[in-house]
Structure 1
Amino acid sequence: MSSYLEKQQRAFKSNVTSAATKVSTKRPNLTAQPESAPSPAPSNASATSKLQKDGKRKRETPNIVYSQPASTGHGNETLTQITYVIDDFLKKKDQPKTIHEIMSWLSQSNVEEAKKRLIVKILKLHDRVKWIPDPNLKVQTWDSGTFLYLPLIDVRSKNELISHLQTRADARGVLVKDLKDGWPNCEDAIDELEAEHRILVTRTKKDNHARMVWSNDPSLVHKVDQEFKNMWAGIQLPSVDDLVRQLQEAGQKPASEDPSKRVKGPLKPKEKKKKAPRKGGKVTNAHMAHLLKDYDKSKK
């Protein structure tokens, strides 16, 4: 037993000795380091993700907000300024204004005279502006007189409205929205005139606002006695269905009957037309009758 152990011990030592001779005894120089160590090469996965991110960034568009420019004035073009002057100045003020007041409102009092003359010329030719000459001057200058907004209907009081309706040549009504162009708070006056029976008014179903007005004669309005009203209220009329049934029983056609609701009988199927038998033509070759005769007995 001891001899076997000794053999194993000697074999182990010999293997260790042979393996030690193959190991290199040189140690690496740990103190010597390169001045700039190269960065490790990126892996394929990291390079691919970076390309994808760069690609997405290139495709992304910046969020540009398109908004209206800030209101810094009344425009620089002459026609734009004319629109502002008529709608926002003359119409709202509802008073005659001179050209100097208009240019001051536009913040352009110091512009050249040629532009002022151009604005004056356009305002005098505009169909919604009335130029009032200066009564104190015998000869008008280019900047004299005042400008007044001219509405669609030049009415601003109850008496003017009655006069306008009575002088109309046609029987058409007047739109309330046209009255509001020069008389914004006309609804109260319309309600008062309607209560006095001086005008006729049609109103909207939703808000009960005045829509159109006509002239009315208050002398044609007669008061109905309360006794007659009570008598009329006591009459009970039959329902519409009863009226229709009674008229139909009497053999009359009610005017209130809806043609689309009439009960129609069942539709009859259309009969197919039978084709008529084809008639033979006139036989001209009688000498060949024995050849053209049909001997088939199955045919009737």
Structure 2
Amino acid sequence: MSSHLEKLQQAFKSNVTSASTKITAKRTSLAPPPPEAAPSPAPSNSSNTSKAGKDTKRKREVQNVVYSQPAATGYGSEAFTQVTYVIEFLKKKDEAKTFREILEYLSQVHADEATKKLIASILRRHDRVKWLPDPQLKLQTWDSGTFLHQPLINVRTKQDLIGYLQSRPDAQGVHVKDLKDGWPDCEDAIDELEAEHKILVTRTKKDNHARMVWSNDPSLVHNVDLEFQHMWHKTELPTIDELVRKLQDAGQKPASEDPSKRVKAAPKAKEKKKKAPRKGGKITNQHMLHLLKDYDKTRK
């Protein structure tokens, strides 16, 4: 019995020894692990700054564009800006337009009702727009009627211009640029009225365009015969000096003289003031007079 246990104990020890030998051999046969990689050097401030700048630039370039708002148009977005374009539209068409036609021009047909009402109310109160009610409606709505351009001066024909100038309470002239606000092609009519002596016109020196107009009375204009004009130009008129001398010989005083013939007195030269001789001042060192005394006269 004891011999059997001894055999088992020896067998167990041999198994343990052989197992430990195998494990040791397996460990030695394995390759050693590779050395750990050295840590990378810390980046400098300049590299950090350049990297941050590149990242920021990339972020700015990748910004998404918001397409929810419409692109800027020439009509403007505010109601008062819209009215400005409406006035130019009515001025160019020179005829009454409905509010529907105005909205079509502004591309505001599908705008909200509050915006439409605001534009209509501004147009009705504007001094450059005339609102004409719809004669077929007893009760006007906010979008009824038509709109017409109201110029600065409501003149569109030659007769209107003459009547307007004659009805003015003052004698001031009328600017042609104000006439063109409601009558763009008025220059031809102005030239015709000037030739008929019905208006007086001042013109620009550079382009000879009409600048201002006044009312004129054609009955005050008298034609001179051509024969008399030729006689007048052939007559030799005396010179100014001769005319003045003849008037003085006749005992009459000339109304005017040639300013170029006047003898101008030569300007008097300014005399330089002579400096007065310097007078002796008050002597204050009386106690030292004996030291300043001159003893040359006492010498022999």
Deviation of 1:111 (Å): 1.0
Task: Call closer, same or farther: CA 1:276–1:188 in 2, change over 3 Å.
Answer: same
Quote the Cα distance in structure 2 between the aligned partners of 1:71 and 1:170.
48
Quote the Cα distance in structure 2 between the aligned partners of 1:82 and 1:151.
15
Task: Call closer, same or farther: CA 1:150–1:222 in 2, change over 3 Å.
Answer: same
Quote the Cα distance in structure 2 between the aligned partners of 1:273 and 1:206.
59
- Percent same amino acid among aligned pairs? 59
What corresponds to 2:153 in structure 1? 153
Mapped contact 1:74–1:84 kept (Cα < 8 A): yes
Give 1:58-207 correspondences, 5 Å limit. Answer: 72-87=73-88, 89-207=89-207
- Per-residue CA deviations over 1:200-259 (Å, capped at 9, x if unaligned) read 111122221111111111111111111211122113446xxx6369869x8988354399
Give 1:1-300 correspondences, 5 Å limit. Answer: 72-87=73-88, 89-237=89-237, 243=240, 254-257=257-260, 265=266, 268-275=269-276
Bigger-Rg structure (1/2): 2
In structure 1, the gaps of 5 or more residues are 1-53, 59-69, 282-290
Normalised to the residue count of structure 2, the TM-score between the two structures is: 0.61
Q: Which amino acid aligns with 1:232?
A: W
Task: Call closer, same or farther: CA 1:234–1:71 in 2, change over 3 Å.
Answer: farther
What corresponds to 2:21 in structure 1? none
Quote the Cα distance in structure 1 between the aligned partners of 2:72 and 2:265.
68
Quote the Cα distance in structure 1 between the aligned partners of 2:243 and 2:268.
28
CA RMSD of aligned residues (A): 4.1
Deviation of 1:117 (Å): 0.6
Mapped contact 2:152–2:182 kept (Cα < 8 A): yes
Normalised to the residue count of structure 1, the TM-score between the two structures is: 0.61
How many residues align? The count is 219
What corresponds to 1:47 in structure 2? none
Deviation of 1:135 (Å): 2.1
Mapped contact 1:133–1:145 kept (Cα < 8 A): yes
In structure 2, the gaps of 5 or more residues are 1-49, 55-70, 283-289, 296-300
Deviation of 1:275 (Å): 2.4
Quote the Cα distance in structure 2 between the aligned partners of 1:163 and 1:266.
59
Quote the Cα distance in structure 2 between the aligned partners of 1:191 and 1:169.
24
Quote the Cα distance in structure 2 between the aligned partners of 1:258 and 1:205.
32
Mapped contact 2:240–2:258 kept (Cα < 8 A): no
